[in-house]
Amino acid sequence: MLTSHATNESGYSLVEVLAAIVILTVAIIPMVGMFDAALRAVTASGDYDAARACAGQKLEQIRSLPYESVGALPDGTCEPSGLEYEVDEEFVDAGLENVEGDLGLTKVTVTVRWDDGDSYSATGVISRW
């Protein structure tokens, strides 16, 4: 004997499926914005790391030079990042206070700037002795 169970079958109606799609859409759209923010944060972090590496590299190069050549350091561009840097020198005393004359200590600051107008600076003291 064959009976039809079509009226007793359970399942999802079209209205329920459409409601689920709307709810998922409302939940997923804000996540797209979060992915965009995460990508921007990763890019900014990469720029910061490149600037930090550039400043540290240039400061170490400056420290390796003879003391007498520290006063005439050019600005330039780091390779391979292509970030531009500036070098600033100031005479300081033993307390690291700025002074007019050369007492044998120079504070050197390397500032690296990149596209967004952000910058990173590294400072070191070079001694004549």
Would residue 101 count as lying in a domain? yes
Q: Provide the pLDDT for residue 119.
A: 92
Whether the per-residue pLDDT at 72 is higher than 90: the answer is no
Residue 2 domain flag: no
Inside any domain, residue 53:
yes
- Spatial distance between the Cα atoms of 85 and 8, rounded to a whole number of angstroms: 76
pTM exceeds 0.75 for this model:
no
**Residue 64 lies in domain:** 14-127
**What would the DSSP string read from start to end of 55-93?**
HHHHHHHHHTS-GGGGGGPPPEE-TTT--EEEEEEEEB-
Query: What integer is the mean pLDDT of 69-98?
Result: 88
Q: Is residue 121 part of a domain?
A: yes
Residue 5 in domain: no
pLDDT digits (tens, 9 = 90+) for 11-60: 788 999 999 999 999 989 888 889 888 998 888 888 899 999 999 999 99
Within a domain: residue 40?
Answer: yes
**Domain assignment present for 29:** yes
Residue-level pLDDT at 58: 92
Query: What per-residue confidence (pLDDT) applies to 55?
Result: 94
Q: What total number of domains does the chain contain?
A: 1
